[in-house]
Structure 1
């Protein structure tokens, strides 16, 4: 699957640690994919996440099957070996994960690659690297979903980083239905979220609202 910026419009990120019970996870993923998510990233990380490699592989394979069913690109957070095993469409790399240059060499253009960049320095450094497909930038607003998200940068700074980046940018961090319009107005290609999706009660109705905002 080749990268297209519109894949970033409605970017669902989650792991089993983000739902009430592990049994809730795959049904929630399927429901969000069915109702219009444009990308899905398995981010199995942090407190109460699956650490057993066999269990994690099985989960990733199940997510791979769901994303194929709905023709949605499947990204794995951080874990290059797992991404290769399940033939993921892409890998997302954080600033504290395996170095982007190392990942690019290992992947050798066989997958799409996203990189977290939250400061001017990080964006400028990314601009000098070939092979990246998009940048994930934030946290735009305060968030409790990611323990390592850092201080919120706000939409004015987000806009500045979007203008600075040679790559398409997806915004992440504390995004909800109320602040989504101002987030999109910063010039991003789309937004990524965890709790906005995992805590949806009426997925169909809330996804309709999201699609109306992102266009």
Structure 2
């Protein structure tokens, strides 16, 4: 298990203002977040590449990792620390071979433990289950139950929870064995992003394995 894969996993919100996006991510990093995923469904490709490169430089200044959502080619292009792939975003074994052993590879497994086992066999670093709670980002996703995280203890990969996570509903997920909490809205809509990120990190400190 890779030691950097524990704690808050910040997923960027769709945001037209690139400067505001970078400021929000830096605030999360200042609060102790050390893994960030760049997810952008609204910007043009040139904008995405420019933002990904800016985020790569920013995360490196904080000793954090940057993953790119759903786009292996962009992850390689901008020299990101890894990529997160959904069910239809490419072959995991091919991605692992292209990324090499040191970059991070994550896979969406929804509420499907068999998919997590297959992803684990393909060499991913983490498997993501979700939505764990009703989510505005993925309103139609099947809910993933906490027992998936205890079952994931049998895998080599770490486990990640995503979907509708807040500070209030996160502790049962960590108690069930979740290694990463992927958060968008509850983090980036907080009045103080740095304080919110620090609060998430404390949840993990209070629940040491």
Deviations 1:108-134 (CA, angstroms, capped at 9, x unpaired) = 3352111112302202222332x3211
The aligned runs of 1:24-35 (5 Å cut-off) are 24-35=20-31
Partner of 1:177: 167
1:146 to partner: Cα distance? 3.1
Equivalences for residues 102-121 of structure 1 within 5 A: 102-109=94-101, 111-118=103-110, 119-121=112-114
- CA shift for structure 1 position 12: 0.4
CA distance in structure 1 between the partners assigned to 2:60 and 2:170 by the alignment = 27
Q: Determine if the alignment matches structure 1 residue 124 to structure 2 residue 117.
A: yes
Unaligned runs of 5+ in 2: none
Q: 1:164 to 1:140 in 2, by over 3 A?
A: farther
Alpha-carbon deviation of 1:102?
2.4
| 1:66 equivalenced with 2:85 (yes/no) | no
Contact conserved, 2:8 with 2:182, CA < 8 A, in 1? yes
Distance in structure 2 (CA, Å) of the matches to 1:201 and 1:160: 33
Counterpart check, 1:190 vs 2:180: yes
Question: Structure 2 vs 1, CA of residues 95 and 164 (structure 1 numbering), >3 Å: closer, same or farther?
Answer: farther
Per the alignment, residue 33 of structure 2 pairs with 37
**In 2, distance between residues paired with 1:161 and 1:93?**
21
Q: Secondary structure at the match of 1:32?
A: helix
Moved more, 108-117 or 167-176: 108-117
Runs of 5+ in structure 1 lacking a partner?
Answer: none
Is the 1:5–1:168 contact (alpha carbons within 8 Å) kept by the matching residues of 2?
A: no
* SS at 1:7 equivalent: coil
1:154 aligns with 145
Q: What are the Cα deviations for residues 171-207 of structure 1, in whole angstroms up to 9, with x where unaligned?
A: 1111101111111011111211111211111223323
The structure 1 residue matched to 2:130, chosen from 138, 141, 148, is: 138
| Aligned 8 A contact 1:7 1:73 in 2 | no
1:57, CA displacement in angstroms?
A: 1.0
CA distance in 1, matches of 2:198, 2:104: 27
TM-align CA RMSD: 2.0
**Structure 2 residue aligned with 1:8:** 6
Q: How many residues align?
A: 204
Residue 202, structure 1, aligned to residue 192, structure 2: yes
Task: Give the 3 Å change call, closer, same or farther, for CA 22–166 of structure 1 in structure 2.
Answer: same
SS in 2 for 1:91: strand
TM-score w.r.t. length of structure 1: 0.86
Contact 2:31 2:194 in 1 (8 A): yes
